[in-house]
Amino acid sequence: MKRALVPLMLLLSACDTSDPGEGTVRFTLWGEDFIEQGIPAEEFVDGWSVTFDVFEVSVTAVDADGEALPGTHVVDIAEASGGEGHALGTAVLPADRVPMASWTISSMHAQGTATREGVEKHFDWSFDTPVRYVECDTGTPLASGDVTDVVLTVHADHLFYDDLDSEEPGVAFDLIAAADADDDGEVTMAELEAQSLAGEVRYQVGSRDIDDLHAFIAEQARTVGHINGEGHCEIE
């Protein structure tokens, strides 16, 4: 009798053609409260605060497990969403697995104001080098018939990080404010490029060939993409 159990189990396994079904992934793009409401002074090591008038992101090549969301999505994520993010579209996938997502930020335009003790510094910066985020673990198994939200998240505070490699960088604005050479209240991209990092205790770049503040912030801009809030993605 015991010998018959093995063939029977193999037969049952071979006949197991149960369909896990399908679920829906709903993609949104969100900048969290830091973009919609601003970055408060307590987040900065030097007492500045930042608000954004515009934070326009162009997103392409969104997919989950190879199921692509077509088109280019240009969204101003500074616009209030009530914490819901901005809808991009949906994709239908086989259920009973954790989807892996990927997406590309093709360009980014950040316009806003930094304030401290009555002093204001305005900025209007654009970053046009595409960045691909891959292996984004959505963290939640997709159940048959269910809708799972996948939130492509942008972390604006990374633009103000003061170290390219530290796991706990400071969020700072003093050096950016100092780059306003003509003191007209506008920190331009050209002024950032003219601001040397030589002699700075912070603003470490490792082995990268970066020696000015423009290149430093542009490198930080590559790291803003996350998944579902704090979830991490690999950068291609």
What per-residue confidence (pLDDT) applies to 18?
Answer: 66
Among 138, 152, 63, CA closest to 97: 138
| Tokens 């430093």 sit on residue | 216
What per-residue confidence (pLDDT) applies to 3?
Answer: 45
User: What does the pLDDT profile of the chain (236 residues) look like in tens digits?
Assistant: 444 444 444 444 444 456 779 999 999 999 999 999 999 999 999 999 999 999 999 999 999 998 999 999 999 999 999 999 999 999 999 998 899 999 999 999 999 999 999 999 999 999 999 999 999 999 988 989 989 999 999 999 999 999 999 999 999 999 999 999 999 999 999 999 999 999 999 999 999 999 999 999 999 999 999 999 999 999 99
The DSSP secondary structure of 10-33, one letter per residue, reads: HHHHHT------EEEEEEEEE-HH
The amino acid at 12: L
Distance CA(164)–CA(110), nearest Å, equals 20
Cβ atoms of residues 44 and 38 within 8 Å:
no
The neighbouring-strand residues paired with 144 are none
| Tokens 């990092």 sit on residue | 197
What per-residue confidence (pLDDT) applies to 132?
Answer: 98
HEC per residue, 50-63: EEEEEEEEEEEEEE
The amino acid at 157: D
What per-residue confidence (pLDDT) applies to 19?
Answer: 73
